[in-house]
Amino acid sequence: MPKSEIKALTFDVFGTVVDWRGSIAREIAVWEPVKDLGVDGFSFADAWRGLYQPAMEKVRQSKTAWANLDTLHRMNLDQLKDKFGLNVLKEAHLSHLNKVWHRLDPWPDSVAGMNRLRKKFILASLSNGNVSLILDMAKRARIPWDMILGAEIAGYYKPQTEAYRKSVELLGIEPEEALMVAAHNGDLIAAADVGLRTAFVYRPMEYGPSQTVDNAPEHLFDFVAEDLLDLAQQLDC
């Protein structure tokens, strides 16, 4: 299918559009309630993110009831309190910290690239983040979504098939008229299995300077881009 027949771009968010690791580390570095606790922000971010997939997998396998990502993040944060000395924080502070995921900063190219893409295509999130999380993030960082879709609306976490299928159905288009944009091979392969077209975006610093995963495309995707500005260029935006 020629690129002229693409009608919508659906985006992974964590790692593709926003820098979760750097954002959490920066907030920890300046947040008053933890200034005397000696918390290494990058180590904390890595540990918290490390519990992300295992928590969702329990939901995917119906080992636990459906819970949105805010709830799973809080469960994971509670697991890390002792390790990082956060058990001395008040509940109000822990609740605020849990919502750091609502305050993530976009990569430097993201907003400019997406604004260019939006001139030609519908832009929708297709994230495992819950609606309020993605909405708060967008309002703060001026991320120009036309529509917020993904796990909470579909009732399935990526890479489950229905997360992609239901999102495309809500856009009122065929799967092949949607382009899934992500920095993660597994996400794109799962989307392709449903019939979406795919765009791999390099994010070599998502996991820091020692990143060992998703450093390069591992499949024949429709587009491979250095960043979202490059993707906009490739799509004639």
Average pLDDT estimate for 228-234: 98
Which of the four pLDDT bands, split at 50, 70 and 90, describes residue 89? Answer: very high
Q: What is the pLDDT of residue 148?
A: 98
Range 40-77 burial, b when 16+ CB lie within 10 A, else e: ebbebbebbbebbeebbeebeeeeeeebbbbebbbebb
CA 227 vs. chain centroid, Å, equals 15
pLDDT over 60 (residue 45): yes
Residue with tokens 């009732």: 155
- Kindly report the CATH class assigned to 3-19+105-234: alpha beta
pLDDT over 70 (residue 1): no
Residue with tokens 């967008």: 138
Interval 182-192: pLDDT, tens: 999 999 999 99
- CATH H superfamily, domain 20-103: Putative phosphatase; domain 2 (1.10.150.240)
Residue ranges, comma separated, of all CATH 1.10.150.240 domains in the chain are 20-103
Average pLDDT estimate for 25-38: 94
As a dihedral over the C-alpha atoms of residue 219, residue 224, residue 228, residue 231, rounded to 10 degrees, the angle is: -130
For the entire predicted model, the pTM comes to 0.96
Residue ranges, comma separated, of all CATH 3.40.50.1000 domains in the chain are 3-19+105-234
Q: What is the pLDDT of residue 2?
A: 62
Two structure tokens written together for 88: 């001395």
Which of the four pLDDT bands, split at 50, 70 and 90, describes residue 35? Answer: confident
Interval 105-150: pLDDT, tens: 999 999 999 999 999 999 999 999 999 999 999 999 999 999 999 9
Kindly report each contact of residues 24-27 with a partner whose C-beta sits within 8 Å and lies 24 or more positions away, as own/partner. 24/48, 24/100, 24/104, 26/105, 27/100, 27/103
Which of the four pLDDT bands, split at 50, 70 and 90, describes residue 15? Answer: very high
Residue 227, number of CB atoms within 10 A of its CB: 18
